[in-house]
Amino acid sequence: MNPMTIAEQVAVRTYPPFSLAGLLKGTFEPKRGQRICILIDLDDPRDIRGFKFLENPDLSIQRNAHQHFYLGLKGGVLAELGLEGGDLFAYEVTGGSNLDLPDLAVASDGRELSLERDIYPHYDIILCISTYSATAPLTAFAKRYGFRGATLHGLNQIILTTGLAVDYDEVSRLGERLRLGMTHADWVEIDFECFGAKHTLHLDLGRQEAQKSHGLCRGDEPDVANLPAGEIYYVPVGADGEFPMKYEDGTIGLMKVSDGRVQSAELLAGNAATIAAHNAKLASDPVTGELGELGFGTQVLPVSGRDIQDEKILGTIHVATGRSDHLGGSLTPDKFTNAKNATHDDILFAPHKTPEINVTQARMLRDGRIEVLIESYEPSAYLTGLIA
């Protein structure tokens, strides 16, 4: 009997109702008396005054933050967990993934504050529910000011009822089994097929310790979890080859990689101007093409339409370009020519996201053996054996 596909497993899986108290207890194990707050991003952060932003139906992420987190804390979770605060602050939308945050924050009563002076030093737990990921800058600030936190960018109803409703102790246990079976790899190679042509990307990993995103941020050490969690990841030490990439406008380009970076892009389908703009960016700010992450999803989850959850689905794979300091890499914002380019951009390969691009196989060399990890977006027998 053939094993069920990931889609078939999702179809029969059930999830418990979302519990904010359960999520906070599971992720942080907070102590009584600790202070917690929520950050959201708005085009004009002053629209938080009197919760004016709730009048805009397009701000679904921020509205979810208010309804399920702010009101949840004020409506009983603070008392249940013995926490203090529960305040909501807004900062200006950064415009890119993991760009440094502006310092201005506005409180719901209209007070204008400084994140570094008034918020980071005075809260023990900070939740950032935003349009763009803030994991990298918040991780840096957590280490400086000593708080713990979680980033939940792109929050929607599917994520609330599935990716945030799971048992993260179980996610961590299964993730550790996968991590132990993938750590100290020499390299990973990914074979792609796009428009009938085949391409291969080779990523050197230098036998590094594989890391896991598992949703647990407990203890007293400053740390920031990325929720939903569930991936095994590395910071490549080198890369070469080529891979197809789908841009936001649907254009598909072929990335030419050498010396660990995307050096240039070639048009495969779509808008030539999109490729030209990317090549101009690579020429003017070369580190924007650096491959700073290789990640594998570890969970059985439904597609949410948001990469924050969808890259955590078992059988998917992602690489990322740009900033890598929050993952243990060396590419920090000061190394970019233009501060606005200092992003960390995930490139997700998944059947719903990139139907034009198939990952025919991903394999690794480890302990002198080549092990297949993924074939056509399904985990291999090797991976499923690790978590059986």
* Same domain, residue pair 226 and 256: yes
Which of 144, 162, 180 is a domain's end point? Answer: 162
* Same domain, residue pair 373 and 232: yes
Residue 201 domain flag: yes
Residue 11 domain flag: no
Residue 66 domain flag: yes
Residue 64 domain flag: yes
Instruction: Dump pLDDT digits (tens) for 23-61.
Output: 999 999 999 999 999 999 999 999 999 999 999 999 999
Per-residue pLDDT averaged across 150-166, rounded?
Answer: 97
Residue 357 domain flag: yes
d(CA 218, CA 25): 9
Q: What are phi and psi of 14, to 5 degrees?
A: -115, 155
Residue 268 domain flag: yes
**pLDDT band (50, 70, 90) for residue 265:** very high
Instruction: Dump pLDDT digits (tens) for 292-341.
Output: 999 999 999 999 999 999 999 999 999 999 999 999 999 999 999 999 99
Residue 222 domain flag: yes
Which of 147, 162, 177 is a domain's end point? Answer: 162
Q: Is the separation of the CB atoms in 30 and 36 below 8 Å?
A: yes
* Same domain, residue pair 157 and 252: no
**pLDDT band (50, 70, 90) for residue 248:** very high
The tokens describing 7, both together, are: 């889609």
DSSP 99-147: PPPPSEEEETTS-EEEIIIIIGGG-SEEEE--SS--HHHHHHHHHHH--
- Model pLDDT, residue 1: 56
Per-residue pLDDT averaged across 229-243, rounded?
Answer: 98
* Same domain, residue pair 364 and 220: yes
| Backbone dihedral region for residue 184 (phi beyond 0: left; psi -120 to 50: alpha; all else: beta) | left
Q: Residue 189 pLDDT > 60, yes or no?
A: yes
**pLDDT band (50, 70, 90) for residue 3:** confident
Report pTM. Answer: 0.95
Instruction: Dump pLDDT digits (tens) for 11-20.
Output: 999 999 999 9
Instruction: Give how many domains the chain has, as a whole number.
Output: 2
* Same domain, residue pair 172 and 112: no
**pLDDT band (50, 70, 90) for residue 145:** very high
* Same domain, residue pair 115 and 50: yes
What's the mean pLDDT when you consider all of the chain?
Answer: 97
d(CA 372, CA 388): 17
Residue 194 domain flag: yes
